Amino acid sequence: MSGFEHLTPLILTVITASTPLLFAAAGELVTERSGVLNLGVEGLMVTGALAAFAGTYVSGSAIIGVLCGALAGVLMALVFAALTLSLLANQVATGLALTIFGLGLTSLLGSGFIGVTVENLPKLYIPGLSEIPVLGPIVFGQDAMVYLSFACVGGIGWVLARTRVGLILRAVGASHDSAHALGYPVIRIRYMATMFGGAMGGIAGSYLSLVYTPMWAENLTAGRGWIALALVVFSTWRPGRLVVGAYLFGAITVIQLHAQGLGVAVPSQFLSMTPYLVTIMVLVVISRDRLKIQLNAPACLGRSFHPAQ
């Protein structure tokens, strides 16, 4: 049993590292399902992280902080949507610019919060259940946002597969011309999907600054937005597979940190690169099966649309 008890803290750390990836990837999946490619997830996350930390520090409420993070993500997503959907700017270039803008803006505005800490989000405690050895802390001892991440993925999967809203969203991503011909407001739907992705990215950043650290530091996201983008491709745009992918990459991140702590005879710089090297390797492997990607990816992904066309 002692071996399992030593394993419990590792599993808890993996869950903490995986949750922001799951939030961000789930939001981007909805955005891409509508046919919009937003490469600015990193910018959404880092902006949400600062807004959540500032909101919590000023108000003393983590709930208000998370709401501030989600709102910041929505506002950033609106900027992206206005440029790409209304002004027909290139989605790839605009997404990259959004990330650069987010990193620069938070570096400027967050300078006054460096070194400041806030209280961590409280863990759920159920008398009896939370005290079960090994299983109790893992299943019944998480903070509310961990359970929310699973609820969001389940809800997204159900909406996309079982509801008229999901059918319309997928139709817009598959063929915006056909959807427009049937009378669906393509631009409005894409605005809503992009804003939802922004809110989820902001919540993902909130988790980093309120739970994972909990503090503010420059470039807090450290490339996790790019991993979230890769997870959408890894899951072949299916919500259920996001959970596997997010926890796989979360485990890799945590294992390399533990390896550094144990003094593994490998340069620490190489260990730090491990999550990103694995991301590249996974994308290379997935990209070899072009037919699978073409069958699952939204056909209009990244393509601009104007009602006059």
> Once rounded to an integer, what is the mean pLDDT over residues 235-264?
83
Indicate if the alpha-carbon torsion angle 282, 285, 290, 296 is positive or negative: negative
Question: pLDDT class for 227, splitting at 50, 70, 90?
Answer: very high
Whether the pLDDT of residue 127 is over 80: the answer is no
Q: Give the bridge partners for 123, in sequence order.
A: 143
Measured CA to CA, the distance from residue 196 to residue 181 in angstroms comes to 25
Q: Given this model, what pLDDT does residue 124 score?
A: 81
Report which of residues 121 and 177 the model is more confident about. 177
| 72, part of any domain | yes
CA distance 174 to 91: 17
Helices of type H across the chain: 2-33, 41-59, 62-81, 91-109, 135-140, 144-162, 164-174, 176-181, 186-207, 224-234, 239-261, 268-287, 290-296
What CA–CA distance (Å, rounded) separates 40 from 226? 9
Which CATH number goes with the domain that contains 173? Answer: 1.10.3470
pLDDT at 39 over 80: yes
Residue 261 pLDDT > 70: no
Task: Average the pLDDT over 155-159 and give the result.
Answer: 97
pLDDT at site 209 = 94
pLDDT at 272 > cutoff 80: no
Number of domains in the chain: 1
* Close Cβ partners of 144 (under 8 Å, ≥ 6 residues apart): 121, 124
pLDDT at 255: 82
- The radius of gyration of the chain from alpha carbons, rounded to an integer in Å, stands at 20
Give the whole-angstrom CA distance, residue 218 versus residue 113. 10
- The answer as to whether 302 is a domain residue is no
Mean pLDDT (whole number) for 174-201:
96
Please name every residue paired with 215 in a beta bridge, in sequence order, or none if there are none.
Answer: 117
Does residue 225 register a pLDDT over 70? yes
Structure confidence by residue, pLDDT tens digits, 68-85: 999 999 999 999 999 999
Place of tokens 């919590």: 56
**87 pLDDT above the threshold of 70:** yes
- Enter the tokens of residue 159: 């909406």
**Amino acid of residue 27:** G
Does a structural domain hold residue 169?
yes
pLDDT of residue 276: 78
Q: Over 60: is that where the pLDDT of 32 sits?
A: yes
Backbone angles phi, psi at 117, to 5 degrees: -125, 160
The answer to whether the Cα torsion of 148, 166, 40, 187 is positive or negative is negative
Query: Measured in whole angstroms, how far is the alpha carbon of residue 238 from the centre of its chain?
Result: 15
Residue 71 and residue 198 in contact, taking contact as beta carbons nearer than 8 Å:
no
**Amino acid 277: pLDDT:** 81
64-83 as b/e, with b when 16 or more CB fall inside 10 Å? ebbbbbbbbbbbbbebbbeb
- State the pLDDT at residue 15: 92
User: E strand or H helix at 304, and its extent?
Assistant: none
Residues 6+ apart with CB under 8 A from 287: 293
Model pLDDT, residue 1? 45
Residue 304 lies in a domain: no
Residue 299: predicted pLDDT: 92
Domain range for 115 is: 2-296
Between residues 123 and 34, the one the model is more confident about = 34
Stretch 178-195: mean pLDDT:
96
Average pLDDT, the chain: 89
Q: Which pLDDT score, from 0 to 100, does residue 308 have?
A: 65
- Cα angle, residue 61 at apex, residues 59 and 66 outer, rounded to 5°: 105
